[in-house]
Amino acid sequence: MTRPVVGIIGNHHLINETYQVHAGGAMNSEAVAKVADCIPMLIPADPAYVSVEELMEVCDGFVLTGGRPNVHPEEYGEAATEAHGAFDRARDAITLPLVRACVERGQPFLGICRGFQEVAVAMGSTLHPEIRDLPGRLNHRMPPDGTIEEKFALRHIVTLNEGGPFHRLWGTTEVMTNTLHGQGVTRAGTRFVIDGYAPDGTPEAAYVEGAKGFTLSVQWHPEFNAANDPVSRPLFEAFGDAVRAWAAGAVRPALKTA
């Protein structure tokens, strides 16, 4: 039996600062293939090449990956500043409507880091360009030095709401996670439910209220060591189960096109 297909949102990247590629971290593909037990398919996130409607027909679920560029602040009604860093407007043009369409249709997705922020913005939330500049906040950015293992090491607790979907998933209200992000959610949209927080109050886990399908999203990077990490593995397994359930559905809601 063919495994269901998970579209992994790719990022624009330059090799040797000249050759343009669409790229995705191998650990994303490994987590999808070996833990979620689905076929990983890298998506060139650019409306010049693919449409949301096509992606939703080809893929059974999606992983909204991390990425260095940030969601453009115009998407949540603010002006861009130097603090916002780099942008990827082509990715914005795919992922934000993709999230909304998946929520409406019940198609599963897992948001990771930038993906967490994309889901937040798609659901009407706002972001702060540099969380560490807010009073009382920690520096959540990737450590500048060290090995990959050191950069992705567990760094803080995330406290989960009792009885929420993440508590039910892990059977605990506290988990240890890595942290490698600069931006963070400042005001949550009405359907973007924050279900877990870092010790400094930074939102770290969320879901979309009233969605028909899997919409769990996290601000950290569970794809690292996903097969062995006690937090990452159940998350990707649950996502894989949701994707298989979607793929096995005899009747799917029709796509709503503009």
Residue 258 belongs to some domain of the structure: no
CATH number for the domain that contains residue 158:
3.40.50.880
Residue 24 belongs to some domain of the structure: yes
In this prediction the pTM is 0.93
Give the closest residue to 98 by CA, choosing from 182, 215, 240, 237: 215
The arithmetic mean of pLDDT across residues 95-107, rounded, is: 97
Residue 257 belongs to some domain of the structure: no
Residue 206 belongs to some domain of the structure: yes
Q: Tens of pLDDT along 37-57?
A: 999 999 999 999 999 999 999
In this structure, which amino acid lies at residue 136? G
Cβ atoms of 41 and 11 within 8 Å: the answer is: no
- The residue range of the domain holding 195 is 5-248
Report the pLDDT value the prediction gives residue 258, as an integer from 0 to 100: 46
Cβ atoms of 159 and 197 within 8 Å: the answer is: yes
Residue 126 belongs to some domain of the structure: yes
Residue 255 belongs to some domain of the structure: no
Number of domains in the chain: 1
End-to-end CA distance of the chain: 35
Residue 256 belongs to some domain of the structure: no
Residue 234 has pLDDT above 60, yes or no: yes
Q: HSE, CB side, 13 Å, CA atoms: give it for residue 9.
A: 32
Report the pLDDT value the prediction gives residue 251, as an integer from 0 to 100: 52
Q: 142 in helix, strand or coil?
A: coil
DSSP symbol at 105: H
Residue 254 belongs to some domain of the structure: no
Give the closest residue to 165 by CA, choosing from 98, 68, 221, 239: 239
